[in-house]
Amino acid sequence: MRHSKLSRVKIFGALTLAACTGTLLLLFNSCSTDRAVVAPLEIEGATFVGDKSCRDCHPNISRVFPSSPHARLSSGNSQMAGQSGCESCHGPGSKHIAMAGRGGLEKFIINPGKDPEACFRCHQETRAEFHLPQHHPVIEGKMSCVQCHDPHGMDIMKPAGGLAMARQNETCAQCHREQTRPFIFEHAAMREGCTVCHSPHGSINAKMLVQRDMNLCLKCHAQMQGPSVGPGFYIGNVDHSGFLRFGTCWTAGCHTAIHSSNTQPFYFY
């Protein structure tokens, strides 16, 4: 039931036509109003005030920000407003400041911890990854970007770089304790970090693997074949030619406990 290119074009064409027609109909038929749409990251009636205004109430964040990865974009005198600095992620701050002292000021500032759209506005390739079939549920609202990333670079428990106390795999271990606990037989790949094998934002493969076949493992485990192995295919000192046709190294009952094992040095279980 593979779709031909023609049918794909038809689907795209139909969707585009429907969207354009609907938009035009709505434009022509709706009654008049002076109400404007509030685009994401805009705050109705608020204007940009600059980073200096944020420092008064948030000194602990502001003072370490120059060491954070986001400071790479912040020249302090960019011509394009709202493209760098605090308000590029938190929205224009004038109403937030005006409400200070009267309560409810959180209603007038964007919290990227609750809405990933603030992050996706610049990290558009990440947004695309979250639309792949296997992904962490950020778009679904069950997780947020700040659970894994520290945008200000000051949280000691998060490896955002900057002044943070970074530790390998610590971010993933917060939820995936089973895979990051100690074992008798440790798979050395864990030293390289989880992202050597997994694409944490999203992937087309089950378990968010970066590859779905034995190439995932052979990137490190491939070896030159000796002149006398004949048709055999050796990995380590074992002829794997009969096993590799099962597609991956962890299927067909072989290296299934690939995160490490307490009882089997080859991670069979």
Partner 1 sequence: MRHGPNGSHLASRVARVAGVLLLSCGTLLAEPKTAESKIDESQLPPASTNRIDFARDIQPIFDTSCLRCHGPAKPKSGFRLDSRATALKGGDDGVDIVPGNSAKSPLIHFTAGLVEDMQMPPEGKGEPLTAAQIGLLRAWIDQGAPWNSAPPTNLYSVSFSPVVGGTTVSGDAKKFRELNWRPEGVNGGLGEFQLFQQTGPDTAVLLSGHALRDDHKIDLSIEQTDLGFIHSGWEEYRKYYDNLGGFRHAASTPEALSLDQDLHLTLGKAWVDFGVSLPHWPRLVFGYEYDYKRGDEASTAWGVAGTAADARNIGPASRGLREGTHVLKFDLDAEVKGVTIEDRFRGEFYSLNTHYTNSGARGPLSQNVDETDHYFQGANTIRLEKQFKNWMFASAGYLYSHLDADSSFTNVTRFFNTSFAGSAPSITLERESHVANVNLLLGPFDGLTLSGGAQTEWTRQQGFGSGNLNEIPFSRTPPLTLAIVSTTLNADYDERSAMETAALRYTKIPFTVLFAEVRLEQDSIGQTDSDLQSTGNFAENTDFSSQLTDFRVGFSTSPWRWMTFSAHYRRYENDSHYPRTGPPQPDAGGYPDFFRSRELLTDETETKLVVRPCNWLKTTLSCQFLTTDFRDDANAASNVTSHVVFSPAGNTLTGRFESEIYSIATVLTPHPRVYFTGSFSYEPSQTRDLNSHSPTIGPYHGDTYSADASSTYVLSQNADFSLGWNFSEASYAQKNGPTVVPVDIRYQEHGVEAALARRFGKNVTARLQYNFDYYHEPSSGGAADFRAHTVFATLNLRLP
Binding residues among 154-173 for partner 1 as defined by CB under 8 A: 156-157, 161-163, 165-167
Closest approach of Cβ 250 to partner 1, in Å?
Answer: 6
Among 54, 84, 110, 146, binds partner 1 (CB under 8 A): 84
3-state class of 169 per DSSP?
coil
Residue 188 CA: distances (Å) to CA of 170, 183, 234, 246:
16, 11, 20, 24
Record the tokens describing residue 61, joined without a space.
């964040």
User: Cβ of residue 47: shortest distance to partner 1, in angstroms?
Assistant: 14
User: What would the two tokens of residue 259 be?
Assistant: 């995160």
Phi, psi angles (nearest 5°) of residue 234: -95, 135
The distance of closest approach from Cβ of residue 218 to partner 1 in the complex, given in angstroms and rounded to an integer, is 4
Q: What are phi and psi of 202, to 5 degrees?
A: 175, 160
Burial class, 5, CB count within 10 angstroms (exposed 0-12 / middle 13-18 / buried 19+)? exposed
CB of 114 to partner 1, least distance (A): 11
Is residue 13 a contact residue for partner 1 (CB under 8 A)? Answer: no
Q: How far is the CB of 163 from partner 1 (least distance, A)?
A: 5
**How far apart, in Å, are the Cα atoms of 229 and each of 64, 157, 248?**
59, 50, 22
Q: Which of 45, 116, 191, 194 contacts partner 1 by CB under 8 A?
A: 191
Size of the site for partner 1 (CB under 8 A): 130
- Burial tier of 264 (Cβ tally within 10 Å: 0-12, 13-18, 19+): middle
- Per CB under 8 A, contacts with partner 1 among 52-81 are 52, 56-57, 60, 63-64, 66-67, 71-81
Cβ atoms of 186 and 260 within 8 Å: the answer is: yes
Residue 20 within binding range of partner 1, rule CB under 8 A: no
Using CB under 8 A, pick the residue from 49, 144, 183, 200 that binds partner 1: 183
**Which x/- pattern, by CB under 8 A, does the window 223-252 give for partner 1?**
xxxxxxx--xxx-xxxx-x--xxxxx-xxx
Q: Where are the alpha helices (DSSP H) in the chain?
A: 5-29, 51-55, 59-64, 86-90, 94-98, 117-120, 124-130, 170-173, 177-180, 215-221
Window 249-268: contact mask with partner 1 (x via CB under 8 A): -xxxxx-x-----xxxxx-x
Residue 4 interacts with partner 1 (CB under 8 A)?
no
Which element (helix H / strand E) includes 202? strand 202-203
Q: Is 5 in the site for partner 1 (CB under 8 A)?
A: no
For partner 1, the binding residues in 197-216 under the rule CB under 8 A are: 204-207, 209-216
6 is a contact residue toward partner 1 (CB under 8 A) = no
Find the shortest distance in angstroms from Cβ 172 to partner 1.
Answer: 14
- φ and ψ of 224, to 5 deg: -65, 140
State the minimum distance, in angstroms, from the CB of residue 234 to partner 1. Answer: 4
